Amino acid sequence: MTIRYLPAEAMAALHRRRGPVVDTGLTVMLLGPEANRFVLANSGLFRWREAFEALVPVDGETALIVSDGADHTRRRRLVQPAMHHRQVDGYLKTMADSADEKIGAWRAGQVVDLYAQFRSAIRRSTIASLFGERMAADEAFFGESLQPLLDLVDNVPQVIALQRRLRLPAWRRAMAARARVDERVFAEIGRVRADGGGDNVLATLVHGHDEDGGRLSDQEIRDQTVSLIAAGYETTSAAMSWAIYALLTTPGAWERARAEVESVAGPRIPDRGDLRKMPYLNGVVQETLRLYPPAVVSVRSVAEEFTFAGRRVRAGRTLLFSPYVTHRLPELWTDPLSFRPQRWDPADPGYRKPGPHEFLPFGGGPHRCIGAVMATTELAVMLARLLARVSVRLLPGRPRPVGFAAMRPRDGLRAEILAVDRNT
C-alpha cells in the first residue's frame, strides 16, 4: 500500500495540468526531470542562504546548507573526507550496534513505535560515528534538546518568521534549547582542541585546514556539527520508517529481503562486501528513497533572471522543485506507485539506471547532500539487523505522512514484536 503525501500530490496535479513551470504568485515551481536538470546544472542562478534561511535557528549561520559560493566550497572541502566511502565503512559496526541495542531490549508481544526506536538508534549512531562516543553518550540529551528546534523549522518560512518577530513561546523554547545544545558542543570543541588528536569528524573540523592554511572558526565548527547531527537522524529515521512500512505491506518483500540477508551474512553484522552482495536489500533502500524521499520539495532563491520552457523567471523569486513529483512520474518509472526493489538490480530484466535529474533524493550538483553515502549505508545496515533478528507485524492503521523539513509518519509506526533472535 503506497502512501501519498497530499501537498506534493497537489504539485503533481499542477504539473499534469500546466506543464513544467507553475507560477502560483507566491512561488515558481519547476517540475519534472528536465526542470531538475536545469536547476542542478545552473547552480550559479540560485542562492541557498535566502532559500534556507528558515533552517538557521537550528543549523546556524555558517552551516553548509545555508552557505553559498567560496564559503560553501571551503567548508565542504573540510567536511567531505569524513563522509567518503572508505571512512563510512569504518562506521558499520557502530551502526549495527546501535540497532542491536534497541532490538535487544524488545520482547515478544511488546508493542513498539519503530519510527521512534530507530530515530533514537540512528541519532546515537550518527553522533558516535561522526563525533565520538563521548558525545554519543548524550544522545538522549541531544534528542530532547534538538526537538524544539526541529519543531520550529518544521513550519513554512512565514510561520517561522512570525514566531521570531513576536518572540512567541515556540521560538523562546527553541532558543533556550539551542543555548543548551551550543553549550555542550562548544565544550566538546574545546576538549578536542586541548587533546590535540582524534580521528572523527569533529577532530577533523577542529584541526583541519585548507590549502591556504585557513581553519574553521569555533562557530563554523558548531554549525557543521549541529547540522550534521540534526539532518543525519531527522531524514534517515524518516526513510527507515517508510522502508519498514513498505517491506511489511508489500507481499513477499520482507521474506525476500530476510532470505537474502540470511544467505549472505547469516547472523553476523554485514560488512561492505556483504552489502554489495545484497541487491534486493540495496533496492529496498533505493526504492524507499524513490517513493518516500524525506525532502519532498527543495527550495532555491533566484539570484539571476532566467528563462525555462519559454517562461521568464525574475530574480528574487522563490523557486520550488520536487523529487517526490519526479520519482512518481509514469513516463520515467514502470508501475511508479508500486514498491519494487528489484527495479534497482542490474540483473533484473526491467532494470533501467535513472539519470541524476530523474532520481535525486539527496539533491544534486555542488550542494548534493554530503551525507548521502552514510545515510544509504546506515539504512542498509540497520535494516539488515532488523530482518535478521526480528519477526514483527504492523498494527492496523495507515500512517499519515507529515513534515516540511522531512516527510515522516505523523503518529509513528506502531508494531507488535512477534519474536526476537537473542543469538544473533
In angstroms, the CA 43 to CA 34 distance is: 15
> Is domain 6-69+83-130+236-420 in CATH 1.10.630.10, yes or no?
yes
Please report the beta strands in 31-96, taking only residues with DSSP state E, as ranges in sequence order.
Answer: 46-47
Cβ neighbors of 194 (< 8 A, separation 6 or more) are none
Cβ neighbors of 150 (< 8 A, separation 6 or more) are 58, 230, 234, 405
369 assigned binding-site residue: yes
- Give the three cell numbers for residue 193: 582542541
Share of the chain above pLDDT 70, in %: 98
In angstroms, the CA 229 to CA 123 distance is: 7
Neighbours of 97 (CB within 10 A): 16
CA pseudo-torsion sign 287, 293, 296, 297: negative
In angstroms, the CA 393 to CA 35 distance is: 40
From 55-64, 231-240, 306-315, 327-336, the region with the lowest mean pLDDT: 55-64
From 42-56, 70-84, 155-169, the region with the lowest mean pLDDT: 70-84
| pLDDT tens for each residue of 24-59 | 998 999 999 999 999 999 999 999 888 888 888 888
By C-alpha distance, which of 159, 39, 113 is closest to 411? 113
| pLDDT tens for each residue of 211-266 | 667 788 999 999 999 999 998 899 999 999 999 999 999 999 999 999 999 999 99
Residue 200 has what pLDDT?
83
Residue 210 has what pLDDT?
67
- Give the three cell numbers for residue 200: 572523527
- Give the three cell numbers for residue 47: 542562492
106-134 in b/e form (b: 16+ CB < 10 A) is beeeeebbbbbbbbbbbbbbbbbbbbbee
The β-bridge relationship of strands 28-30 and 21-23 is antiparallel
Which amino acid is it at 283? G
pTM value is: 0.95
Label residue 126 by pLDDT band (50, 70, 90).
very high
Backbone φ, ψ for residue 183 (5° rounding):
-60, -45
**Which whole number is the average pLDDT over 270-292?**
97
Residue 395 has what pLDDT?
97
DSSP 8-state class, residue 81: G
Domain ranges across the chain = 6-69+83-130+236-420
Q: Are 243 and 253 in contact (CB under 8 A)?
A: no
- Give the three cell numbers for residue 308: 525555462
Number of helices followed by number of strands (H, E) in the chain: 18, 12
**Which whole number is the average pLDDT over 145-173?**
90
**Which whole number is the average pLDDT over 297-321?**
96
Would the pLDDT of 421 be above 80?
yes
Of 194 and 198, which is predicted with more confidence?
A: 194
